[in-house]
Amino acid sequence: MDFENQEVLGTLFGQFDANLVQIENRLGVYISARGNRIQIEGPEDAVARARDVLSGMHTRLKEGFELDQGAVESLIAMSSEPTLEGIITGTDKRPPVMIRTRKKTIVPRSAAQIDYMLALTSHEIIFALGPAGTGKTYLAVAQAVAQLITGSVQRLILSRPAVEAGERLGFLPGDMKDKVDPYLRPLYDALYDCLPAEQVERRIASGEIEIAPIAFMRGRTLADAFVILDEAQNTTPAQMKMFLTRFGQNSRMVVCGDPRQVDLPGGDAHSGLADGVRRLEGVDGIAVSRFTAADVVRHPIVGRIVDAYEGPDAIP
């Protein structure tokens, strides 16, 4: 392979050729670099995948995107998908799939994320199901921030049930915000990654961004809003019905959860997420996106951990 733009080769290879080593280890090939030329040796299929990964990395750098270990890992994972050509880079007929926020431009890191990101722009209610680390909540928050910035929605509402993960924390000190903030911390983390800190604080103070437990949704109509319900597997069927029927004009709802991580007494038989998907999948205007351990975009070991826990000896 020959690369015309030599200015990005240092970043492409990584410090001490770390990116090339990562590709070698994951695909079972040998890569040698001299000047702007790269030679790849190994099984034919693996060589073709390595070539696609390196081309994708080079394209990302030319277009000004960051290239970290996670991005390289996602390109390696997506190299086995035959349907990706023309979707990531875009064509005349189909623009590239991406979300632009104040702090970064986000592109899909797995095949499932492509379908999910497309659903976020084309459906009124989206259910996102899958294990931790697949980007369900993060991409929903990023899309919500993008629509808030462009003015297509007037408010961003983030919610989740206040259910502890297997332990009792007891009464928490402070006012209502202080009490629920520990449960909502993952939503704050995603917000601060998409918007400057001062904008997050200002928009929360003005009410443009609202973060509240699901118990505070009863009796409201959520119009002109992008609404996200996280950890939805810990809602009851009654809570899920109450939440979904808050839907108002010019709004979008995203319901995120992992059906295998139910913390409710009685387990998944009492989960409003499973009940809601069973009742609503296939209804016009509602999309269901499913992720697996193969779509995990955190450290690669997270995907292997998910596989180990959800395999034949899965923890009930």
Judged against a pLDDT cut of 80, whether residue 262 lies above it is answered with: yes
Q: Cα dihedral sign for 264, 268, 274, 279?
A: negative
Q: Give me the DSSP letters along 251-275.
A: -EEEEEE-TT---STTGGGG-HHHH
Contact between 254 and 186 (Cβ < 8 Å): no
258 closest CA partner among 302, 209, 195: 302
Full set of structural domains in the chain with CATH: 6-78 (3.30.1370.10), 99-309 (3.40.50.300)
Judged against a pLDDT cut of 60, whether residue 267 lies above it is answered with: yes
pLDDT tens for 107-138 read 787 788 888 999 998 899 999 999 888 889 88
Mean pLDDT of 157-174: 62
Judged against a pLDDT cut of 80, whether residue 70 lies above it is answered with: no
pLDDT band at 300 (very low <50, low <70, confident <90, very high): low
Judged against a pLDDT cut of 70, whether residue 80 lies above it is answered with: no
Judged against a pLDDT cut of 90, whether residue 280 lies above it is answered with: yes
Contact between 105 and 145 (Cβ < 8 Å): no
Predicted local distance difference test score (pLDDT) of residue 86: 35
Least confident among 116-120, 151-155, 165-169, 241-245: 165-169
pLDDT band at 32 (very low <50, low <70, confident <90, very high): confident
